[in-house]
């Protein structure tokens, strides 16, 4: 599969139009259901324009796939929900503005769990996305479409969002690289909120360099997002994250949180991740066990906070200004019917639980309690990072599961997120990179860093990739 | 000491729109929408489009601090925004960004003219929030078959000023509203003449009972009427042996009554939680600098007027009750006799303006100066001056033109003297009556003089001359 | 423990119309999740401050200057399922 630099190279002899057409053809023939909307016409028109003008941006003429919860002006944006079907935003998200300035071409909007609520991309109103490694299996979620598109050769890179693992999980399940940056590094302006205090836009690609190049373009301060930070990684020599990509981990201190390797972890996953840590040690890193005693409670705390915020964020979908509208009655009834008809089961469950967790009499027991647990989780990370530079753990406790296997049992589905959610509660950066296979399915390990220390995790990931071959494996027929 | 026999306790929640800001509270949309088509001053943020995020307008925070300080509040060390979750068709996000714990200022007071002299009304808190959109109904709210929404107003900065339940009569409530409006106008953050600039919810209980909250009050007079009705209603409930229940009531302005809104809507649970898209503020450090720039407030200006211009307290109070009027007066008083100016601005001009439902902006201060000059130099009579003011308000022009047009120049003493002599000659009956002790007969002689001079004689002068001749 | 009656109240607060079937279906599922959440009761959080914002940010403002974000009336109304004249059209109030 072509990297970004290879595509840029090929543009010297060929054209953007050829590249875009090639990807469009693959999307058309695909059975993955990775896309909700394919922006065929606008993509080709833009490619022609770039070809004729000879634009020389960072990504000029290169197609990108965008998760369908990121606002794109003039291109339908649905969050994979019936309630937003047909909604065409009149504005671009901050990251889309940045990508357009860099010359990237939006090839389409990718499938996802409805409103990013899920771990398998099965809750989409537009049907599940399939895993390129095994069509019977899920691609992970919630950004399953964006990951499957890259793993299946339908886009060279893509954007997702990570609220509790929604970038890292599908990266792991699809055998590609996925980065969730520090909270506040990428503007959320235009990202349709699921759980504001937890989520960040993240990037997918087939290698660490491409993910980093994409990150370089979309990161940075935006005055339209009050939680966007006005600082760049202090560990960076140059002003780009790409400058952190050095093949060297000598002296790097790796923390291994044993809580992330508990009995629910697949043996193949555990062995692959431990092997990967050994590989890094052979390359000069040192590892030690670290204690993160509150990890066990992260899942409940995460879900309570996410559902509470979601119950409020999703209140705006009432059919008045955009989206689905049912037959009019009195306004109470109409609102209730629009929402009943527009949201899927999982979304309704989370709205109801979130409403309950914030309601009088339960606010302190659930919502406030979860936020206090969050403080303890954050302290676990702070303590661990006093001794080590990065933490390494499995991204997911097991490889991709079968479509339909967990969808009827919310708890078992939620339990899949056990290793990814602590990162979001603490707001730290994490990258998932391919590190092995179990039963022919890819396995990802996550490298977690301190706040704003993306440089350390990118360098670790890059070094691992340079010295191993996992990222070069592609699904059969891709 | 005021008795308050019915144990009336009134607290008011006043929503002041910070409509002098250039932009809304959380987005860059402009605030001058009042003459524009609906939904033409909007953006993803104030329309609640998916993915849009709020960012606080710094000037709105400064204005809120200004108000807090002017109401003698404490500006809090730490303040933050919350989401108040509820549904309503005018609310684009399904929640309102407001403040809950940690409001920007609290614990203040203002002094009003109470039932028994100066009365102190506590300010519980003054907090920031966003305005919802505007709903338009076809006919009345209960009969309209559909509802139209205009989001131009959505996201306007509001300050909700909550008082303690310190008012003991509807009259005090009205005085409080007048005073509050007066103060915020002085701060140059608010134009009370714009539609929807100030809205009131009133809480009232009597004899230690439960309180009713009255919504939909849009004027100071309305507040007084709603409260008067509510007191009678609550008294009747108690008289019949009932218990006043805590509830929300809707003020029907046309019928001047309050109506129960008891319905499922009462089952509110706002599920407040801190707005994750906004970060906390630590702005108490701004207070000293803002305090230093606070303009002179109504009470201070009133006292200064009495001291500096030697006018009565009543005049000073009336003149400072509106910022524009106070400025008008002061401009005039600097170039004319302040006491004469107070009489003519306060007693005459203001009355004529009120009668015509006009504001002080309809009158030029140069004209007031000319009129006072004509009066002081005795070129016109007081009646003539009133006539000039009326003509200016009704038809326009200049005082000089009106003097000429209406021949208002005062006639000289000789002519009055001749007219007086003629009047005495022509009215022997009245003269005889006067001489026999009927002093009132003099009035008909004065009337005769005025008639002869077509009203241009000064009545007092005419009287003096007549007395001289009759002695 | 959420009862069917609690669920009705939650459905009202969240403006989600629930059929009888849905009430039957959701009640046990929501309760199983809540049961799971109850594990947090074992954690002693006495004296622990809640973390609302993971970064210690404060005082983020914008200047009171008209922004570039405003959209036209046509754009504003472009996604409205129902509109009348220049307004969004909502159902009746009562």
Q: Is A98 helix (H, G, I), strand (E, B) or coil?
A: helix
Shortest Cα distance, chain A CAs vs residue B162, angstroms: 23
Give me the CATH number covering residue C18: 1.10.20.60
Whether residue C37 is contained in a domain is answered as yes
**What pLDDT band is residue B412 in, cutting at 50, 70 and 90?**
low
Map out the domains of chain A as residue ranges.
4-259+265-291+382-472
Residue B264 pLDDT more than 70? no
Closest chain B residue to the Cα of A95, Cα to Cα: B51
| Of B55, B92, B273, Cβ closest to residue A358 | B273
Three-state secondary structure call for residue C29: helix
| Mean pLDDT calculated for residue range B406-424 | 75
Angle B59-B63-B64 from CA coordinates, rounded to 5°: 120
Considering A16, A166, A272, A308, which one is annotated as catalytic? A166
With a cut of 90, say whether residue A443 has pLDDT above it.
yes
pLDDT reading at B194 higher than 90:
no
User: In three state form, how does the secondary structure of chain B look?
Assistant: CCCCCCCCEEEEEEEEECCCCCECCCCCCECCCCCCCCCCCECCCCCCCCCCCCCEEHHHHHHHHHHHHHCCCEECCCECCEEEECCCCCCCCCEEEECCCCCCEEEEEEEEEECCEEEEEEEEEEEEEECCCEEEECCCCCCCCEEEEECCCCCCEEEEEEECCCECCHHHHHHHHHHHHHHHHHCCCCCCCCCCCEEEEEEEECCCCCCEEEEEECCHHHHHHHHHHHHHHHHHHHHCCCCCCCEEEEEECCCCEEEECCCHHHCCCCCCEECCCCCCECCHHHHHHHHHCCCCCHHHHHHHHHHHHCCCHHHHHHHHCCHHHHHHHHHHHCCCCHHHHHHHHHHHHHHHHHHCCCCHHHCCHHHHHHHHHHHHCCCCCHHHHHHHHHHHHHCCCCHHHHHHHCCCCCCCHHHHHHHHHHHHHHCHHHHHHHHCCCCCHHHHHHHHHHHHCCCCCCHHHHHHHHHHHHC
A372 contacts C50? CB cut-off 8 A: yes
The token pair that represents A23 in the structure block: 């990807």
Same-domain check for residues B306 and B284: no
Confidence of residue A248 (pLDDT cuts 50, 70, 90): very high
* Residues of chain B with C-beta less than 8 angstroms from the C-beta of C76: 39-40, 42, 47, 151
Please, what is the average pLDDT of chain A?
96
In-domain check, residue B3 = no
- C13 to chain B, closest Cα gap in Å: 7
Using the predicted structure, report yes or no on whether residue B14 has a pLDDT greater than 90: yes
In a domain, C91, yes or no: no
User: Of A45-49, A401-405, B393-397, B419-423, which gets the smallest average pLDDT?
Assistant: B419-423
Are B275 and B308 members of one domain? no
User: Mean pLDDT, to the nearest integer, of A290-299?
Assistant: 97
Is pLDDT of B255 > 70?
yes
Give the model's pLDDT for residue B268.
Answer: 80
> Using one digit for the tens of pLDDT, what is the confidence trace for B211-246?
999 988 888 899 999 999 999 999 999 999 998 988
Question: Does residue A142 have a cis bond before it (omega within 30 degrees)?
Answer: yes
Is a pLDDT exceeding 70 seen at residue A237? no
Q: Which two tokens stand for residue A16?
A: 């953007």
Catalytic one of A16, A142, A146, A187: A142
Flag if C62 and B147 touch (Cβ within 8 Å): no
Distance, in angstroms, between C3 CA and closest chain A CA?
12
C50: DSSP letter: P
Nearest CA among B87, B131, B93, B130 for reference residue A193: B93
In a domain, B253, yes or no: yes
Neighbours, chain B (3 or more CB pairs < 8 A): A, C
SS3 of residue A254 by DSSP:
strand
User: CA–CA separation, A347 vs A117, rounded Å?
Assistant: 7
Q: Is residue C58 part of a domain?
A: no
Tell whether the model's pLDDT for residue A431 goes beyond 70.
Answer: yes
Q: Which of B405, B422, B445 is the last residue of a domain?
A: B405
Token look-up 């326009």 returns B396
B53/A188 CB distance under 8 A: yes
Inter-chain Cβ pairs, chain A and chain B, closer than 8 A: 104
**A196/B277 CB distance under 8 A:** yes
Q: Which residue in chain A is spatially nearest to C75 when comparing CA positions?
A: A90
The range of the structural domain enclosing residue B266 comes to 9-290
pLDDT at B415: 76
Q: Is residue C94 part of a domain?
A: no
Chain B residue with CA closest to A358: the answer is B271
* C94 contacts on B by Cβ (under 8 Å): 141-142
Chains with ≥3 CB–CB distances under 8 Å to A: B, C
Comparing A368-382, B160-174, B378-392, the range with the smallest average pLDDT is: B378-392
Return the partners of chain C (3 or more C-beta pairs < 8 Å). A, B
Considering CB atoms only, which of B42, B56, B283 is closest to C71? B42
pLDDT in tens, B345-393: 999 999 999 999 898 999 999 999 999 988 888 888 888 888 889 999 9
Beta carbons of C15 and B87 less than 8 Å apart? yes
Asked if residue B354 and residue B418 are part of one domain, the reply reads no
Residue B4 falls within a domain, yes or no? Answer: no
d(CA B196, CA B218): 8
pLDDT attached to residue B265: 52
Interval A106-146: pLDDT, tens: 999 999 999 999 999 999 999 999 999 999 999 999 999 99
User: Taking CA atoms, what residue in A is nearest to B86?
Assistant: A315
Look at residue C90 and tell me if it is in a domain.
no
Q: Which of A16, A30, A60, A67 is catalytic?
A: A67
What confidence tier does B408 reach under pLDDT thresholds 50, 70, 90? low
Cβ contacts from B onto C, under 8 A: 133
Task: Identify the pLDDT of residue B263.
Answer: 57
Q: Is position C6 within any domain?
A: yes
Strand duo A157-162 + A200-205: pairing: antiparallel
- Give the number of domains in chain B: 3
Q: How many domains does chain C have?
A: 1
| pLDDT on residue B136 | 94
Domain A4-259+265-291+382-472 is of which CATH architecture? Alpha-Beta Complex (3.90)
What DSSP element (H or E) covers A67? strand A63-67
The answer to whether the Cβ–Cβ distance between C33 and A349 falls below 8 Å is yes
User: In 3D, which of A283, A27, A189 has the Cα closest to residue B52?
Assistant: A189
Burial class (CB in 10 A: 0-12, 13-18, 19+), A270: middle
Asked which of B388, B405, B422 is the last residue of a domain, the reply is B405
- Report pLDDT for B232: 94
pLDDT of residue A238: 54
Last residue of a domain, one of B243, B272, B290: B290
pLDDT of residue A232: 57
pLDDT at B32 over 70: yes
* Sign of the C-alpha dihedral computed for residues B60, B65, B71 and B73 taken in this order: positive
Same domain, yes or no: B225 and B254: yes
Burial of B402 (0-12, 13-18, 19+ CB in 10 A): buried
Q: Which of C61, C62, C73 sits opposite B40 (nearest CB)?
A: C73
Subunit contact B51:A227, Cβ cutoff 8 A: no
pLDDT tens digits for range A24-75 = 999 999 999 999 999 999 999 999 999 999 888 999 999 999 999 999 999 9
The reply to whether B61 touches chain C by the CB within 8 Å rule is: yes
Are B48 and A321 in contact (CB < 8 Å)?
yes
- State yes or no: pLDDT of A268 exceeds 80: yes
| A359 touching B (Cβ < 8 Å) | yes
Q: Which of A34-38, A187-191, A234-238 has the lowest mean pLDDT?
A: A234-238
Residue B272 sits in the same domain as residue B341:
no
Stronger pLDDT, B129 or B450, i.e. the higher one: B129
Average pLDDT (A149-153) is 98
pLDDT band of B411, cuts 50, 70, 90: low
Q: State the Cα–Cα distance between residues B345 and B30, nearest whole angstrom.
A: 36
Least confident interval from A230-239, A392-401, B318-327, C17-26: A230-239
CB contact under 8 A, B148 and C88: yes
Interface of C with B (CB under 8 A): 9, 12-13, 15, 52-53, 57-73, 76-77, 84-94
Which chain A positions have a beta carbon within 8 Å of B277's beta carbon? 193, 196, 225-227
| Residue at C33 is within a domain | yes
Q: Summarize pLDDT for B121-155 with one digit per residue, the tens.
A: 999 999 999 999 999 998 877 788 999 999 999 99
Average pLDDT value for chain B: 91
Q: Say if B87 is an interface residue toward chain C (CB within 8 Å).
A: yes
| Contact at CB, B147 and C61, closer than 8 angstroms | no
Sequence-ordered list of residues with C-beta below 8 angstroms from that of B387, at least 6 positions apart, any chain: B402, B406, B408
Residues of B within 8 A of A223 (CB-CB) are: 55
Whether residue B439 lies inside any domain: the answer is: yes
CB atoms A331 and B54 under 8 Å:
no
Catalytic residue list contains A142:
yes
Q: Which domain holds residue C31?
A: 1-42
Asked, for residue B284, whether it belongs to a domain, the answer is yes
């Amino acid at each position: 599969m072509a990297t970004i630099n290879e595509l840029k190279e090929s543009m010297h002899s060929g054209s953007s139009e050829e590249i875009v057409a090639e990807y469009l053809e693959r999307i058309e023939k695909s059975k993955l259901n990775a896309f909700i909307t394919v922006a065929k016409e606008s993509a080709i028109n833009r490619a022609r324009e770039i070809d004729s003008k000879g634009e020389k941006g960072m990504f000029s003429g290169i197609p990108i796939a965008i998760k369908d919860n990121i606002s794109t002006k003039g291109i339908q944006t649905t969050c994979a929900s019936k309630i937003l079907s047909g909604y065409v935003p009149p504005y671009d998200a901050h990251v889309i503005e940045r990508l357009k300035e860099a010359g990237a071409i939006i090839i389409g909007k990718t499938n996802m769990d409805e409103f990013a609520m899920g771990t398998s991309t099965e809750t989409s109103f537009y049907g599940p996305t399939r895993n390129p490694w095994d069509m019977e299996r899920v691609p992970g979620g919630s950004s399953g479409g964006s990951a499957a598109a890259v793993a299946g050769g339908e886009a060279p890179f893509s954007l997702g969002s990570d609220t509790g693992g929604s970038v890292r999980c599908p990266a792991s399940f699809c055998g590609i690289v996925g980065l969730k940056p520090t909270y506040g590094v990428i503007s959320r302006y235009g990202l349709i909120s699921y759980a504001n205090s937890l989520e960040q836009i993240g990037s997918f690609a087939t290698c660490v360099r491409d993910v980093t190049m994409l990150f370089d373009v979309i990161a940075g301060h935006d005055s339209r997002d009050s939680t966007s930070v006005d600082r760049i990684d202090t560990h960076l020599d140059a002003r780009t994250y790409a400058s952190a990509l050095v093949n060297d981990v000598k002296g790097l201190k790796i923390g291994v949180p044993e809580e992330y390797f508990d009995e629910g972890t697949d043996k193949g996953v555990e062995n692959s991740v431990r092997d990967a840590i050994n590989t890094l040690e052979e390359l000069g890193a040192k590892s030690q066990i670290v204690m993160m005693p509150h990890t066990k409670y992260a899942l409940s705390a995460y879900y309570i906070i996410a559902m509470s915020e979601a119950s409020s964020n999703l209140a705006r979908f009432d059919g008045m200004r955009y989206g689905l509208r049912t037959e009019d009655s009195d306004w109470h009834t109409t609102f209730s019917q629009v929402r009943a008809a527009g949201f899927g089961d999982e979304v309704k469950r989370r709205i109801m639980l979130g409403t309950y967790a914030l309601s009088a009499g339960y606010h302190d027991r659930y919502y406030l309690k979860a936020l206090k647990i969050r403080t303890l989780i954050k302290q676990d990370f702070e303590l661990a990072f006093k001794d080590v530079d990065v933490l390494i753990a499995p991204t997911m406790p097991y490889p991709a599961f079968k479509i339909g296997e967990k969808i009827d049992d919310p708890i078992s589905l939620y339990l899949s997120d056990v290793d990814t959610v602590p990162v979001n509660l603490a707001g730290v950066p994490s990258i998932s990179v391919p590190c092995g296979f179990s039963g022919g399915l890819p396995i990802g390990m996550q490298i977690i860093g301190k706040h704003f220390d993306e440089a350390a995790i990118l360098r670790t990931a890059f070094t691992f990739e340079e010295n191993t071959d996992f990222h070069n494996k592609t699904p059969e027929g891709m | 000491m005021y008795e308050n026999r019915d144990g009336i306790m009134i607290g008011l929640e006043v929503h002041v729109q910070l409509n002098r800001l250039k932009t809304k509270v959380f987005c860059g949309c402009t605030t001058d929408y009042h003459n524009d088509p609906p939904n033409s001053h909007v953006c993803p943020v104030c329309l609640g489009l998916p993915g849009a995020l709020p960012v606080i307008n710094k000037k709105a925070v400064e204005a809120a601090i200004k108000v807090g300080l002017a109401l003698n509040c404490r500006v809090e060390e730490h303040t933050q925004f919350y989401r108040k979750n509820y549904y309503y068709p005018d609310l684009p996000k399904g929640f309102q960004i407001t403040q809950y714990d940690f409001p920007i200022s609290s614990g203040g007071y203002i002094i009003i003219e109470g039932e028994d002299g100066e009365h102190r009304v506590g300010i519980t808190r003054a907090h920031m929030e966003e305005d919802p959109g505007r709903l338009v109904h076809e006919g009345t709210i209960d009969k309209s078959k559909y509802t139209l929404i205009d989001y131009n107003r959505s996201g306007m900065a509001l300050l909700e000023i909550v008082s303690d339940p310190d008012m003991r009569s509807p009259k005090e409530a009205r005085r409080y509203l007048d005073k509050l409006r007066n103060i915020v106008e002085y701060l140059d953050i608010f134009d009370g003449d714009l539609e929807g600039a100030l809205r009131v919810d009133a809480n009232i209980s009597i004899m230690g009972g439960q309180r009713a909250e009255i919504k939909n009050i849009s004027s100071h007079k309305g507040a007084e009427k709603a409260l008067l009705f509510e007191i009678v209603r609550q008294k009747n409930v108690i008289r019949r042996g009932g218990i006043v229940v805590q509830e929300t009531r809707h003020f029907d302005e046309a019928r001047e009554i309050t109506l129960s809104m008891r319905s499922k809507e009462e089952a509110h649970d706002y599920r407040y939680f801190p707005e994750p898209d906004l970060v906390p503020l630590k702005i108490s450090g701004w207070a000293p600098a803002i305090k230093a720039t606070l303009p002179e407030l109504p009470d201070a200006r009133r006292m200064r007027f009495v001291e500096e211009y030697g006018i009565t307290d009543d005049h000073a109070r009336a003149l400072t009750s509106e910022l524009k009027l106070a400025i008008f007066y002061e401009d005039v008083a600097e170039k004319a006799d302040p006491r004469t100016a107070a009489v003519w601005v306060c007693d005459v001009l203001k009355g004529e303006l009120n009668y015509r439902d006009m504001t002080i902006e309809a009158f030029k201060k140069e004209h007031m100066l000319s009129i006072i000059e004509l009066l002081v130099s005795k070129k016109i009579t007081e009646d003539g001056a009133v006539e000039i003011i009326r003509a200016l308000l009704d038809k326009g022009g200049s005082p000089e033109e009106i003097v000429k047009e209406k021949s208002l120049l005062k006639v000289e003493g000789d002519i009055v003297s001749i007219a007086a002599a003629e009047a005495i000659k022509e009215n022997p009956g009245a003269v005889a009556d006067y001489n026999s002790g009927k002093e009132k007969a003099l009035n008909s002689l004065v009337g005769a003089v005025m008639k002869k001079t077509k009203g241009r004689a000064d009545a007092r002068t005419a009287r003096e001359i007549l007395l001289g001749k009759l002695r | 423990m959420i009862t069917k009656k609690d669920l009705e109240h939650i459905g009202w607060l969240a403006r989600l119309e629930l059929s009888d079937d849905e009430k039957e279906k959701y009640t046990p599922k929501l309760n199983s999740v809540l049961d799971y959440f109850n594990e947090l009761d074992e954690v002693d959080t006495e004296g622990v401050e809640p973390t609302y914002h993971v970064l210690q940010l404060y005082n983020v403002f914008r200047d009171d200057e008209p922004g570039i974000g405003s959209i036209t009336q046509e754009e504003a109304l472009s996604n409205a399922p129902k509109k009348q004249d220049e307004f969004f059209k909502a159902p009746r109030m009562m």
